[in-house]
Amino acid sequence: MNIAVLNLYCNIVRLHSFSLGASANQISQSAASQAIQQLEGELGVRLIDRSKRPFMLTAEGQRFYDGCQELLAAYDRLRASLVHHRAQIAGIARVAAIYSVGIHIMSDQVRRFMALYPQAKVLLEYLHPHKVVEAVLSDEADLGIVSYPPKNRSLTVIPWRTEEMVFVCYPTHRLARHRVVTPPELEDEAFVAFDPDLRVRKAVDRWLRNHQARVNVVMEFDNTETIKQAISVGAGISILPQPTILKEVGGRTLAAIPLAPRDLVRPLGIIHRRGKLLPPSAEHFLELLRRAEPVAPQAPTAAPRPTPR
């Protein structure tokens, strides 16, 4: 038994998948399965019930997982305490982020961090907003990145940045060439919305209501990627954070137009458990995020003109 096997076990449990856990440890799925079987043999207990899909932890498996989490955190702290030079910051920063932030912002920040601290590693997981908060509170993540960060006495919330919300449509939509889109122009439009339980949905609904704009909600999803796909096949229009559609606007597969008035934004925040002593790798990643420049807004790209036949 060694630290690598304990880390593999924790990754498999945390990600609820042998294949994803193996990938996080850069080994094959079969090697991961054999390592866990060998671990169970050494301990003399069954940790994972593989007869169920998805698999479930046994009572012993849960107890071993909890102990491994504490052991690995202590190991990371001990290892990091032996390092004094900036370039030698080591250990793992566990970060949970909502899908849109993870895909459009965090990948660049992770690359920057790895370049600065080659001996450190960021374990980044994309989750539903509620799951990000749960991961931080349960100590499965050191840091969380969420929109509309919740007020919770167990959390420390660090305001990070705000993103302008813009009107998004298919390039041939009747509003695609407008310089701005006003609330009356949204009246009775087929609208692809976020799920009702998300804070961003409540903020958009409140903006529409305050400006007396009534839309026809035809679809509801829990992430921006699926909403963009629905818009791209002509299902309707939406209101999305401007940085999340830069790629599509640049490729002219979607059109984005500022709203008027421009008073709807999505706040992003960094959260961690209050009173938690962050490992050095997580502390340095947090500082990198706080120093990072926000994504610069770009002027909306006009929809492409029809090609002459």
Consecutive 10-residue runs of the chain (309 residues): their mean pLDDT? 85 83 81 90 90 86 90 77 58 91 78 88 90 92 93 90 94 95 95 94 96 95 93 95 91 95 93 89 91 54 41
Q: pLDDT value at position 275?
A: 84
Q: pLDDT value at position 82?
A: 61
Q: pLDDT value at position 87?
A: 46
Map out the domains of the chain as residue ranges. 1-80, 163-266
CATH class of 163-266: alpha beta
Rounded to the nearest 10°, the torsion over CA 207, 233, 102, 57 is: 110
- The span from the CA of 228 to the CA of 240, in Å, is 9
Q: pLDDT value at position 90?
A: 77
Q: pLDDT value at position 303?
A: 45
Specify whether domain 1-80 bears CATH 1.10.10.10: yes
Q: pLDDT value at position 96?
A: 94
Q: What global pTM score does this model have?
A: 0.65
Average pLDDT over the chain, rounded to an integer: 86
